[in-house]
A and B are shown apart, each in its own frame.
Chain A
Amino acid sequence: MRNLKLIILREYLARVRNKTFVIMTFLSPIIMVCMIVLVAYLSNLNSDDSKIIAIHDENNTFYKEFPSTDNITYLDYSSLPIEVALDSIEKKDYYGLLFFPKSEDNQYLSNHVEFFANKAPGISFISDIEGKISTVLTNKELQQRGVDVNEINNSKTNVNLQIENFSGEETSKLSNYVKMFFGGAAGYLLMMFIIIYGNMVMRSVIEEKTNRIIEVIISSVKPMQLMIGKILGTSFAGITQFAIWIFFGGILLFTVTTVFGIDLQASAPVSPTQMDAGSQEEIQKIILDILNLPLAKLIFCFLIYFIGGYFLYSSVYAAIGAAVDNETDTQQFMFPIIVPLMLGIYVGFFSVISDPHGVVSTVFSYIPLTSPVVMLMRIPFGVAWWEILLSMAILVLSIFVLVWVAAKIYRVGILMYGKKPTYKELYRWMKY
């Protein structure tokens, strides 16, 4: 026990005193804050950008259907010949020209309206324009068939489905996105932590091998102790780093936003035009949704899966570090780590979001290598305790098995020099 404490302390100090670690710890929050500020600034800039579009209409009927807005100004170029019009907008550096060919047939027009532009327009702009043209053509068609457009508009009803859960609490339709966000963030954070700190464990094992100190140490302590001490010490360093990030990132973000007065709301995905009377209510519902999430459950499970997942993977990382002589040789063994992690994330972002309690999501939330990520993503959608406990039990059990297997490989591997082992050899080592 005393030795384990010594090892953990040494590993912790070795990580924390490392120059790269120190630089990354203090630089990352600054970079993150700079990026957020930059994004906020740029999206502010973008919304100021207004476009000028010329309309050349050979029927002379459509121009009045395109009223100018804050962002887009429409100009009537129908009187000019098309070549002159194109020439002119190119010179004046307008955004583009919308061309309606001469035709009375709305069906024909629907396929033959053209847009000329120097730069390829964005997808959102195209669908915007297409929507407008479609409305205009539909209305015109309706008029031609003698239907009263006003009647139709008046008879339209706006449905806003009110979603409530069984206990009677109202939730917003955005609720699923909130759940997705929290689950996704937790799963993604877990994956990043495993990759970053698992790699640190691996490098530290390789370092002991290349420094040839390993045999001196394991003549004093059991290899298993050394491996576990390494994993724990590194995880404490990771927690320290996270704590510093959250602390400094918070302070920096607060200072920067107050000093520069940048409105972070502007970069939020809800654009101001959608902020009608009902939006205030909607925001309140979102906040309520967040509070209604099983937060205590989520935090508790996050901690368990975080620790469990990290232990599971970092023991594999340690075994890989022991099996090779230098970092370049580790590539061939990265496969069994990266594949389940990526699988977890993909299953999380595709299956869980479309069907949180479907077969695929459920199965992957039990398989130990993917369960930390997938289950964390499922929990916000409401998972029964027995399911969670079963998945955790499987995870804990497999940690014991995998740590045992990894320790076997580790024990033999750290004393092997000079050859690149194959999977077959690793299997043989387990039996030594």
Chain B
Amino acid sequence: MNNLLVAENVSKKYGDFTALNQLSIEVPKQSIFGILGPNGAGKTTFIRIINQITMPDTGKVWLDNEPLQAHHIQYIGYLPEERGLYKSMKVGEQVLYLAQLKGLSKAEAKKRLKFWFERLEIGDWWNKKIQELSKGMAQKIQFIVTVLHRPKLLIFDEPFSGFDPVNANLIRDEILKLRDEGATILFSTHRMESVEELCDYMALIHKSNKLLDGKVSTIKKQFKSNTYEVGIEVGEAAVFKNLLQEKFQFEETFFHSIHHDLQLNIKIKEAHTQNDLLQFLMAHGRINHFKEVIPSVSDIFIKTITSHA
């Protein structure tokens, strides 16, 4: 099996409230997997189950083909949504303490810390207390704490909330680097742009149920509607539209253009291909713009959730 993390029919209830209902997910090795869902969907509950903070009522979780066990904690790096550090503890001491809790020896932790402090150019913070640092600085430390023990699985719960743009970019680059070095990354977020940007796979959770999951590109193919965005210059717009109507569905749209053209979203019916559309367009005017409309993750998210409402 090439999956690092597998969850099978995981359920969790808090009293009468169902937080997760029969969730199954497979996270391939060395991928970036995004768990999407509105607030309260059950993302954090699922992540806490992987971290063994909460136990599932039913269902099983495997990490690297082994049933989840206590010692797996050292293979997981977790950046929770609610995150912070001891304010009155010195940076170096604090990171060493947290690294040792993850199973590193003191000497090894020190060595790796030096590396990270140089990589993020924060070497002179060792003896500072967290309360003396700015928020952005503390965020860097928090990130180091998460990755220092070189986990196989990195879990980020809303990683970019609270980070300033500079740090967010830095963290994003580091996440990609870690993936290239062999780590698998699990994202939980309700910010669609970051999924669009980073994730290879995604799962959508809504009200404790999984609505869809799979490769991001595959999902997008499923959701595309064979619609093309077209910018075309024609002689008589009304005449052209009448002709177009006979063969295709269309609606007017708007996008930024330097030309004075007709801007349309044209949907191809099943009998046709995009080449048929192009040929038709070429016969009637000058094409400035031709692009397939690929649904954004955000579109898919809203569409799926409203269709289940």
Contacts and interface: CB of A to CB of B under 8 A. Distances in A.
Interface of A: 3, 6-7, 10, 14, 18, 207-208, 211-223, 415, 417, 428, 431-432
Interface of B: 14-15, 48, 51-53, 70, 73, 76, 78, 80, 82-89, 97-98, 100-102, 142, 145
Given A216-B80, A219-B73, A219-B78, 5 more contacts: A213-B84, A215-B53, A220-B101, A220-B102, A415-B53
Contacts, number: 61
Contact of A221 (B15, B82, B101, B142): B101
Nearest to A10: B97
B84 A211 contact: yes
The 5 closest A-B pairs by CB, nearest first: A212-B84, A215-B80, A220-B101, A219-B78, A211-B84
A187 to B, nearest CB: 35
Nearest to A213: B84
A219 B101 CA distance: 10
Contact of B89 (A14, A217, A221): A14
Nearest to A225: B101
B6 to A, nearest CB: 20
Contacts of A6: 97, 100-101
A417 B84 CA distance: 14
Q: Point out which of A7, A213, A221 has the most chain B C-beta atoms below 10 A from its C-beta.
A: A213
Given A3-B101, A428-B15, A218 B53 contact: yes
A215 B83 contact: yes
B23 to A, nearest CB: 18
Given A211-B86, A213-B84, A213-B85, A220 B14 contact: no
Contacts of B51: 219
Contact of A211 (B70, B76, B87): B87
9 contacts: A207-B86, A215-B82, A215-B83, A216-B78, A216-B84, A219-B80, A220-B98, A415-B53, A432-B15
A18 B102 CA distance: 26
Nearest to A218: B53
Nearest to B142: A216
B143 to A, nearest CB: 12
B53 A219 contact: yes
Given A415-B53, A428-B15, A432-B15, A216 B145 contact: yes
B39 to A, nearest CB: 13
A72 to B, nearest CB: 61
Contacts of B87: 211
A188 B80 CA distance: 44
Contacts of B15: 428, 431-432
B247 to A, nearest CB: 58
A6 B97 CA distance: 7
